[in-house]
Amino acid sequence: MHLAYPAVLAVLLFCTGLYGVLARRNAILVLMSVELMLNAVNLNLVAFDVWLRDTLHAGQALALFTIAIAAAEIGIGLAIVLMVHRNRGTADIDRLRDNAEAPGGDEADHEQTGKKAEATA
């Protein structure tokens, strides 16, 4: 088998995953797109391992390591998304910017609160 077939398939999978990461707004779909990109990398690792006829099978070992990292990533990422959905009621990535602090941090918040208290008094 030629190396071009799995390489083209890996490129298509990676581009599809990249489009999913850049275009999607739902956090779960973004995590699924990242998994698709990691699977494309795994396909390349195994294809090049077979093509080079490596006796140590380093490509397959790296693919197993990538699968373990991907499993940990999806577990932690899904837990974060579920907690955000439970607290905010949505998994929309654009609405997560509302959680960001204002420039200046806590000091600016205390000054604004003090000014509001003086204005009402």
Reported as a single tens digit per residue, the pLDDT across 76-85 is 999 999 998 8
- Percent of the chain whose pLDDT exceeds 70: 80
Q: Can you tell me the mean pLDDT for 107-120? A: 56
pLDDT of residue 121: 57
pLDDT of residue 57: 92
Question: Is the separation of the CB atoms in 16 and 36 below 8 Å?
Answer: yes
pLDDT of residue 5: 96
Cα torsion 65, 69, 74, 77 to 10°: value is -170
Structural tokens at position 109: 């918040």
- Closest by CA position to 11, among listed 46, 30, 36, 32: 36
Evaluate if residue 119 carries a pLDDT over 80: no
Give the C-alpha separation, 31 to 39, whole Å. 12
pLDDT of residue 88: 84
**Could you read off the pLDDT of 18-64 as tens digits, one per residue?**
999 999 888 899 999 999 999 999 999 999 999 999 889 999 999 99
